[in-house]
Amino acid sequence: MTYTKYSISQLTSGAGLNQKVRVQGWVKSKRESKNVVFISLNDGSTIKNVQIVGDPEKLGETLLRTINSGASISASGILQTSHGKGQTVELAAENIIVDGEADPEIYPLQPKKHSLEFLREIAHFRPRSQTFGAVFRLRHAMIFAVHQFFNDRGFYNIHTPIITGSDAEGAGEMFRVTTLDPLNPPVNEAGGVDYSKDFFGKETNLTVSGQLEVEAFAQSMGLVYTFGPTFRAENSNTSRHLAEFWMIEPEMAWYDNNDNMDLAEAFLKYLVNYALDKCADDLEFLDKRDTQEEQQKPQHQRQELSLIDRLKFVSEHQFERITYTEAIEILKNSKPNKKKKFQFLIDAWGSDLKSEHERYLVEKHFKKPVIIYNYPKDIKAFYMRSNGDNTVAAMDVLFPGIGEVIGGSQREERLEYLQKRMKEMHIPEEELWWYLDLRKFGTITHSGFGLGFERLVQFVTGMNNIRDVIPFPRTPGSAEF
């Protein structure tokens, strides 16, 4: 009596029919009657469940009592064409082993709809729910697609350091990394903490960006990208921010900012298409879920398109490309600006665009993804290439619902321009001597961008809160699990 082990994904896509098979998973629900018992089982390999059919007398009351929602079981039997509706195949159980019981009185995941907020509190169980199963299968697909896209185009993946000795990366507050005793740190002559006694002999932090380091590899290996964890100690409490998140940063030798925008657009479309192609079942589920959520909202806040239609829309339409200056003109003449509906009115060139302005451009004016480029130099980072006027060759890709999904630029490759800019922005040259070296020896035109991975996953899954697209979210005041 040998049973071949299959995943539920394999069984529901045609494998094992009329054969002796074994499946292992977690019980979703059990429906019992005198003559027959049905168990819905899921193993995470697909959103679909497999139905197990059994004879209550043969399985025995003692065993059946322990088969409750959340219990893990191994079921063996013949996979047969289903006698009932709702599924094509079902497993006629000859034998069931309960691997781990789940006391229904206290198991927190009930066979009913739960709020996302509640599931966040049981983050160790939430991947057993349909929604989070779908989200994390999609997240995996996006990780895989990122590497596929770059590998197919001759990019090399570079692991840039997680611990950095530089605090000049210029992207916000950092988390300190230290082995010093917080209650009794060594003190220097000036009375401050003596970091020369610390593990690395200097003050170190968790990285806020791998960009500067990966530039060194772009200027030696050509096309490169990082995909790693990133840490920001900002006290940001929004549905779009995490203290620990994952970022993808490609950096390309001999790319100007136009090449950069072309790549960004092709990249995003590739990822969206990959999801549409490879994750149809999960997307269909999330699409329904998204539609139900939207119906709870008042009419004027609803999205016009369903999740799948939003993805198709992005993949099928060219992104709108406008300069910052053009964006300001559009906003200045816009209805909400004239009627003073914006909280921040647009009056002059040079101010930064706020969320409400980005949303207006993407969701109301163009109704598609928008790339804004050539920003005023005063609102952008020191390493962005000067256009010769008062702008730099920066570019931001804005998506409906989530705002900025990509931020990038052509990098300043001219040593004297870079030094001047660093001086103006009070960035000490000693900190970045090696970064300047790259401009002294064999400098080249190059560009790159950063994609917030979770924001992409938000867009692709339709999840409104970024805490629901990362396994165990880290946010201010919250590092449970």
Out of 5, 58, 113, 302, the residue judged to bind RNA by CB under 7 A: 113
Q: Which stretch binds RNA (CB under 7 A): 87-95, 131-139, 159-167, 221-229?
A: 87-95
The interface with RNA within residues 122-161 (CB under 7 A) comprises none
Q: Does 83 bind RNA (CB under 7 A)?
A: yes
Q: Does 465 bind RNA (CB under 7 A)?
A: yes
Q: Does 467 bind RNA (CB under 7 A)?
A: yes
CA 151 to chain centre: 20
SS (H, E, C) 243-281: CEEEEEEEEEECCCHHHHHHHHHHHHHHHHHHHHHHCHH
Q: Which stretch binds RNA (CB under 7 A): 131-139, 384-392, 417-425, 444-452?
A: 444-452
Helical segments of 279-381, H only: 280-296, 307-316, 324-332, 335-338, 355-359
Q: Are 221 and 214 a contacting pair, CB within 8 Å?
A: no
Query: What residues contact residue 372 under an 8 Å CB cut-off, 6+ apart?
Result: 322, 323, 324, 327, 353, 361, 395, 396, 398
Q: Angle between the 307-316 and 453-461 helix axes, to the nearest 10 degrees?
A: 120
Nearer Cβ to RNA (22/450): 450
Q: Does 82 bind RNA (CB under 7 A)?
A: yes
Q: Which stretch binds RNA (CB under 7 A): 212-220, 324-332, 369-377, 445-453?
A: 445-453
The interface with RNA within residues 391-420 (CB under 7 A) comprises 403-407
Q: Does 421 bind RNA (CB under 7 A)?
A: no
The interface with RNA within residues 12-71 (CB under 7 A) comprises 29, 31-36, 38, 40, 51, 53, 68-69
Out of 60, 100, 111, 165, the residue judged to bind RNA by CB under 7 A: 111
Provide the minimum distance between the beta carbon of 132 and RNA in the complex, in angstroms, as a whole number.
Answer: 15
Burial 174-196 (b: 16+ CB within 10 A, else e): beebeeeeeeeeeeeeeeebebe
Q: Does 90 bind RNA (CB under 7 A)?
A: yes
CA angle 407, 412, 413 (to 5 degrees): 135
Nearer Cβ to RNA (31/176): 31
- DSSP, collapsed to helix, strand or coil, labels residue 408 as strand
Nearer Cβ to RNA (195/246): 246
Other Cβ atoms closer than 10 A to 419: 15
Q: Does 237 bind RNA (CB under 7 A)?
A: yes
Out of 354, 364, 414, 423, the residue judged to bind RNA by CB under 7 A: 354
Provide the minimum distance between the beta carbon of 152 and RNA in the complex, in angstroms, as a whole number.
Answer: 23
- Among 32, 109, 117, residue whose Cα is nearest residue 70: 109
Token pair 């920003």 is found at 375
Nearer Cβ to RNA (18/238): 238
- Among 290, 137, 293, 158, residue whose Cα is nearest residue 228: 158
Out of 114, 147, 153, 332, the residue judged to bind RNA by CB under 7 A: 114
Q: Does 101 bind RNA (CB under 7 A)?
A: no
Provide the minimum distance between the beta carbon of 299 and RNA in the complex, in angstroms, as a whole number.
Answer: 17
Q: Does 344 bind RNA (CB under 7 A)?
A: yes
Q: CA-CA distance, 330 to 353, in Å (whole number)?
A: 12
DSSP structure string for 217-252? HHHHHSEEEEEEEEE------STT--SEEEEEEEEE
Q: Which stretch binds RNA (CB under 7 A): 214-222, 276-284, 354-362, 366-374?
A: 354-362
- Among 395, 386, 397, 402, residue whose Cα is nearest residue 455: 402
Provide the minimum distance between the beta carbon of 394 and RNA in the complex, in angstroms, as a whole number.
Answer: 10
The interface with RNA within residues 186-225 (CB under 7 A) comprises 209
Q: Are 35 and 56 a contacting pair, CB within 8 Å?
A: yes
Q: CA-CA distance, 9 to 41, in Å (whole number)?
A: 12
Burial bucket for residue 443 (CB in 10 Å: 0-12, 13-18, 19+)? middle
Out of 21, 135, 279, 466, the residue judged to bind RNA by CB under 7 A: 466
Q: Which stretch binds RNA (CB under 7 A): 10-18, 76-84, 159-167, 409-417?
A: 76-84
Out of 87, 258, 386, 419, the residue judged to bind RNA by CB under 7 A: 87
- Among 311, 308, 350, 356, residue whose Cα is nearest residue 328: 350
Provide the minimum distance between the beta carbon of 210 and RNA in the complex, in angstroms, as a whole number.
Answer: 12
Provide the minimum distance between the beta carbon of 377 and RNA in the complex, in angstroms, as a whole number.
Answer: 14
Nearer Cβ to RNA (195/218): 218
Q: Which two tokens stand for residue 472?
A: 């165990």
Out of 27, 346, 451, 460, the residue judged to bind RNA by CB under 7 A: 451
The interface with RNA within residues 251-310 (CB under 7 A) comprises none
Nearer Cβ to RNA (277/352): 352
SS (H, E, C) 148-170: HHHHHCCCEECCCCCEECCCCCC
Out of 17, 19, 60, 84, the residue judged to bind RNA by CB under 7 A: 84
Provide the minimum distance between the beta carbon of 16 and RNA in the complex, in angstroms, as a whole number.
Answer: 17
Token pair 């629901």 is found at 468
Nearer Cβ to RNA (93/224): 93
Residues facing 375 on adjacent strands: 392
Q: Does 477 bind RNA (CB under 7 A)?
A: yes
